[in-house]
Amino acid sequence: MKVPFFRHSIGEEEIRAVIDVLRSPFLTTGDKNEELEHLLSDYLGVRHALTTSSCTSALHLALIALGIGRGDRVVVPALTFMATANVVIHVGARPVFVDVDPATGLMNLNQLEDILRRQSIKAAIPVHIYGQMVDMGALSGMSERYGFHIIEDAAHSLEAVRRGIKPGQLSRFACFSFYATKNITSGEGGALVFNDSSHYERLKRMRLHGMSLSARERHGKFVKYDMPEPGWKYNMTNFQAAMLIPQLKRIEELHRRRSAIVNRYKQAFGPFSFPRIIEEDGTRSAYHLTGILLEDREKIARELTRRGIGVSAHYPTPVPLLRWYRETFGYEKGMFPGAEYIADRIITLPLYPSLTQEEQDYVIRTVQEVAGI
């Protein structure tokens, strides 16, 4: 049997929605983006949403909106996808890496507080990794005490809640990804959500070169536009938005499937299963990624691949230990024990709503056999 690491949940409804846009005259950012933005802000209970070309561009725009740049320090967890830290580099600021809890992969808030006592920090980008949220109540308390902005990297956690709080509700910005393997996807894509209305017009402009009028606003009219300041090409197309709308409308149903699959893995793998699920009232994971931690990862992952099971490692190297960060800032092995513990052991497993019971049984049986667990 072959079980791929990922299968998207695009069905006939999404295909029809894309075809409808393709048959219309308007392909670039348009009415479907606006509809998706309203659905997203309603779903998250925040005031504004803007669709973007990716989560990376959303994170970049959030840093720009807050005026973060040269000479500023921005906290980033050591275990994340490189994009979280790279955007800090792109605005000319310096990432300050904080280790993560080896049981959950989430940023260690005690270590963060130690850093805040010693250094002045302009912003923090907590990552709700694997689908569970950093304790935003605790983090926003710290942001008030020490005076820094919070930008949430919620690429993994659209459906997540922690103590009744959703991404975007206790921060300046939360950024989402609709990349090919995310819980809902348009191949590439992202969104930025926020409550402060004073950012809206500027960010809408900055995601499209800084133009004062978008193509949609100029469509069918002869009007001149201006450019108050140069922006980026960070907009999402109308057909990408169209394929996300039906997925967002059935996100709870998709989430129930993901949750059931993770529960079966947990039961099967017991103490080897990872991450530990946070059990607090009003809290749930988006169940984006799940896996196991094993000492002999390389050999076992290769054997699982040989037996037709798609596996991955999120992430195989903590960001500060990637070559450029090591060479530029002098980070070394041993500096981030929590992140290194996970990175050296993690195998992420197939997790998607269309994974059948038979497929999951095959994954479980094979992992148990190969890993001897």
Binding footprint of ligand PLP on the chain (CB under 6 A): 54-56, 80-81, 83-84, 127, 153, 155-156, 177, 179, 190
Query: Minimum distance from CB of 286 to ligand PLP (Å)?
Result: 12
To ligand PLP, the closest distance from the beta carbon of 49 in angstroms equals 15
Q: Which is nearer to ligand PLP, 155 or 245 (CB)?
A: 155
Which residues are 49's β-sheet partners?
193
Least separation, in Å, of the C-beta of 59 and ligand PLP?
A: 7
**Active-site option among 32, 122, 166, 182:** 182
Nearer to ligand PLP, 87 or 370 (CB): 87
The tokens for 39 are: 């659905």
CB of 133 to ligand PLP, least distance (A): 13
Using DSSP's 3-state secondary structure scheme, residue 224 falls into coil
**In terms of CB distance, is 40 or 300 closer to ligand PLP?**
40
Residue 169 tokens read as 């509700």
CB of 170 to ligand PLP, least distance (A): 19
Q: Is 266 a catalytic residue?
A: no
Residue type, 325: Y
CB–CB of 49/167 below 8 Å?
Answer: no
With beta carbons less than 8 A apart as the criterion, state whether 41 and 49 touch.
yes
Match 């057909």 to its residue by tokens: 239
Closer of 108 and 360 to ligand PLP (Cβ):
108
| Between 66 and 192, CB nearer to ligand PLP | 192
Going from the C-alpha of 228 to that of each of 67, 138, 152, 211, the distances in angstroms are 16, 38, 28, 7
Residues 6+ apart with CB under 8 A from 148: 75, 116, 121, 122, 123, 124, 142
Give the burial string for 247-285 (b: 16+ CB within 10 Å, else e): bbeebeebbebbbebbeebeebbeebbbbebbeeeebbb
DSSP structure class, residue 173: E
What residues act catalytically?
A: 182
